[in-house]
Amino acid sequence: MNGYFQLVCSTNQTYLHVFPPTDGGMTAATSEMAEYLGNKGIAYDSSVISEIAGLGGKHEILINHMTCDEVREDYKLIISPDKMNAIVRFYPPSLKGGTLSKQEFIADLSFKGIEFGIQEEEIDRFFNNKRYCEDYIVAVGQQPRHGTDAYIEYYFNTDLSARPTLKEDGSVDFFHLNTISHCHEGDVLAKLFPEDPGDVGYNIMGEKIKPREVKKKKLKFGRNISVSEDKLSMISDVDGHVTLVDDKVFVSDILTVENVDSSTGNIEYDGNVQVNGNVCANFSVKAKGNIEVSGVVEGAQVEAGGDIIIAKGMNGMGKGVLNAKGNVVAKFLENATVTALGYVSSETILHSTVYAGDEVTVSGKRGFITGGRVCATNCVTVKTLGSSMGADTIVEVGADPTIKVRIQNLQWDIANATRVVKSVVPLIEASKQKRAKGIKVTPEQLQYVKSLEVLNKVKEKEIEDKALEMERLQESIGVYSNAKVIVTDTVFPGTKISIGDVSMVVHSEMKYCKFIKLDGDVKMTAI
């Protein structure tokens, strides 16, 4: 046991009995003795206390030449900063002092606010065999049990990165793409595993400690889908195709038309659309799922929440638009504007503007990009890039194209909001000056000025928020360190290649090369 000390009070003298440790215990610290005497209001000579450290064995030290009152058995309470445990060190009474009962001690803990996690076994350990100047953990809090977020398991292919395959002759197989997940009536499409909120913890003062907040989820779905009685399973009501768009599951039995023309008008559909023929100029097809066209698209607008697949390609005629939240696959793209959040795959891209959130692959027998602008976040892979005729061809990688568009829109919005602020601030200031001079204004004028003040605050907040967003987006440009342009055959002079925030113009014909960003510049390396 540890060494300890005990007061001895007599007439006109106060002593301190110091007991040595036994069985490898620790010697009583002189600093602890000094603290104890100070807390009891007993005068002492610090040099005398310091000398105790050099003494061995049991000894008695004269503290002062004064009479002190007998002291009861006492303790020192130490509460951890996080209030999760309380440690007590007990001190013996003076020779004629009273002792502390277990009931008194527990009541005193309660009086000091300690109400939770009382360790009675530890307390009994002391009162059954009193050992002084030792640590007893008399209260322990309960940490909260942190829960888990809800999650959903989908039992169909949600991966939008499936790629078309090449035939033996080198052409792309646009007829067997396997990009649609089939489902049947009664199929379980998804299961929701609810969140576990966890359990509240308590510190020793009885204060609640909340577990970390968990994320909840719910099954989101369109028509042709039912949920189980417990609301945890999603079941298909029909045979068809299943897609996941923005965390919402759609099952459709496919809208099939021969052609999109004057006989059908524009098409807007919640599921997938299959066009067996062509989409004629000036018409539009919009679907929340995938759109497949077996023929060609001519100067039309096609918008899909999933993939767009055009077996025989697109001649945009300078006005055709493809917009997909998934991927775009077309035999050729000519004079068109194409945007895909996933990848774009084609055998030929001619005088078109193409944006891909992932990559652009131009392969097959011809495999060329000539004219226009092709942008991808990660990679552009092409057989032939540019033209011997010098057609202006721009390829950009290393920045999400949608971010660049968003930055342009933010710049426009900030400029407009700034113009509004510059126009209303002088009016507000003029009104303030009038009122400061005691010039009366009508209620209508006052109301008008108040509306201008509200408008000014709204626009200033808009400028601040959009400037912060623009700064964040600008910092993100160029973070795609592995972005590259791969040319599997020839790149012609005059082609401009940009990677992130740097660019170069090709000045001579090159073959079988790769362009990457290295040391702050665009560099050409061998494949």
* 160: pLDDT strictly greater than 70: no
| Average pLDDT over all residues of the chain | 90
Over the stretch 387-439, which tens digit does the pLDDT of each residue have? 988 789 999 998 877 787 788 899 999 999 999 999 999 999 988 888 888 88
What pLDDT was estimated at residue 54? Answer: 61
Residue 62 counted as domain residue: yes
For residue 59, what are the CA distances in angstroms to 6, 36, 52, 56? Answer: 11, 18, 9, 8
Q: Is residue 410 part of a domain?
A: yes
More confident residue, 513 or 96: 513
Share of the chain above pLDDT 90, in %: 65
Evaluate if residue 500 carries a pLDDT over 60: yes
Mean pLDDT score, 230-244: 90
Q: What is the dihedral of CA 273, 275, 276, 279, to 10 degrees?
A: -170
Q: How many CB atoms lie within 10 A of CB 443?
A: 7
Please report the sign of the dihedral spanned by the C-alpha atoms of residue 173, residue 166, residue 245, residue 320: negative
Q: Which residues, including other chains, have CB under 8 Å from residue 158's CB and lie 6 or more apart?
A: 244
Residue ending a domain, among 430, 454, 476, is 476
Sign of CA dihedral 250, 255, 259, 264: negative
Q: Could you tell me which residue, 259 or 256, shows the higher pLDDT?
A: 259
pLDDT tens, residue by residue, 187-196: 999 999 999 9
* DSSP-derived secondary structure letter, 40: H
Contacts of 216 (CB under 8 A, 6+ apart): 150, 194, 195
Rounded CA separation 317/435 (Å) = 62
Q: Could you tell me the two tokens for 375? A: 């942008």
Is residue 334 domain-resident?
A: no
Query: What is the pTM assigned to this prediction?
Result: 0.52
Q: Is residue 177 included in any domain, yes or no?
A: no
Q: Does some domain include residue 419?
A: yes
Distance CA 124, CA 16 (A): 27
Give the model's pLDDT for residue 479: 55
Q: How confident is the model at residue 180 (pLDDT cuts 50, 70, 90)?
A: low
Each residue of 450-471: pLDDT tens digit? Answer: 999 999 999 999 999 999 999 8
- Looking at residue 175, its pLDDT comes to 42
Tally of domains within the chain: 2
Task: Report the distance separating Cα 241 and Cα 271, nearest Å.
Answer: 9
Host domain of residue 447: 403-476
Write down the pLDDT at residue 216.
95
> What percent of the chain lies above the pLDDT cut of 70?
94
The residue among 476, 499, 517 that closes a domain is 476
Q: Of 9-18, 71-80, 284-293, give the lowest mean pLDDT range.
A: 9-18
Which of 230-234, 245-249, 492-496, 510-514 is least confident?
Answer: 245-249
Would 38 be classed as within a structural domain? yes
Write b or e for each residue in 189-198: b if 16 or more Cβ atoms lie within 10 A of its Cβ, otherwise e. Answer: bbebebbebb
Residue with tokens 């710049």, as numbered in its chain: 411
Rounded CA separation 378/484 (Å): 7
Angle between helices 102-111 and 120-128 in degrees, nearest 10 = 140
pLDDT at position 478 over 70: no
Bridge pairing between strands 135-140 and 85-91: antiparallel
Residue 429 lies in a domain: yes
* pLDDT score of 176 more than 50: no
Give the pLDDT confidence score for residue 46 in this predicted structure. Answer: 82
**Is residue 416 a part of any domain in this protein?**
yes
Q: Coil, helix or strand for 33?
A: helix
Q: Which long-range contacts (CB under 8 A, 24 or more apart) does 413-416 make?
A: 413/462, 413/466, 414/462, 414/463, 414/466, 414/467, 414/470
- Is 209 in contact with 144 (CB distance < 8 Å)? yes
Question: According to the model, what pLDDT value does residue 61 have?
Answer: 86
CA atoms within 13 Å, Cβ hemisphere of 502: 14
Flag whether pLDDT at 173 surpasses 70: no
How far is 464 from 306, CA to CA, in rounded Å? 35
Q: Which of 232, 230, 243 is nearest to 152 (CA)?
A: 232
**Between 401-436 and 443-476, two packed helices, what is the crossing angle to 10 degrees?**
150
